[in-house]
A = this chain, B = another copy of it.
């Protein structure tokens, strides 16, 4: 089984999950008060940017993995469905964080966001290590050093997000800052130092 249709389906879910984020950006005000309302809505823009970027990072990584993957099987399709169910869930906790950034619900919102990201990272690891273990679905001509490099680079994902989630129990604000920093760091690191 080739991976073409799996990539089309995955790209659809990524594109929709990212684009749906805009439905959560609101600014309700009448007349001249709109300017004030738009300024006050900055947590929504920040949440939109961080979530779009986060989904974009995951998409770029999915892309990089599938460059090494040449085949697919039924179990691999289901693992991808599980993983994509996590990705498509991201808009919900993102909205919670934006909504509760200035009230007492931020702890619960940050934990919900963190748990979703940990689940997504675990789902990604399931997809990748199923394909990479014993080169089960890897293209015959793929360079083993690249495959091993990808494997190493995914190990810190779930623990990092797990740690940032635990920080929420102590300080929700610090946790949210950490989530944004992780996303920003990843983009900078990949785009400044990434080779392919």
Contacts and interface: CB of A to CB of B under 8 A. Distances in A.
B52 A96 contact: no
Interface residues of A, number: 71
B19 A9 contact: no
Interface centre among A32, A34, A48 (most CB of B within 10 A): A34
Given A5-B11, A31-B104, A194-B75, A85 B49 contact: yes
Contacts of A190: 74-75, 78
Contact of A96 (B13, B19, B34, B75): B34
A31 B78 contact: no
A67 B17 contact: no
Report whether over half of chain A's contact residues are helix, strand or loop; otherwise say mixed. Answer: helix
Contacts of A84: 18, 52, 56
Contacts of A177: none
B18 A92 contact: no
B52 A81 contact: yes
Contacts of A191: 74-75, 78-79
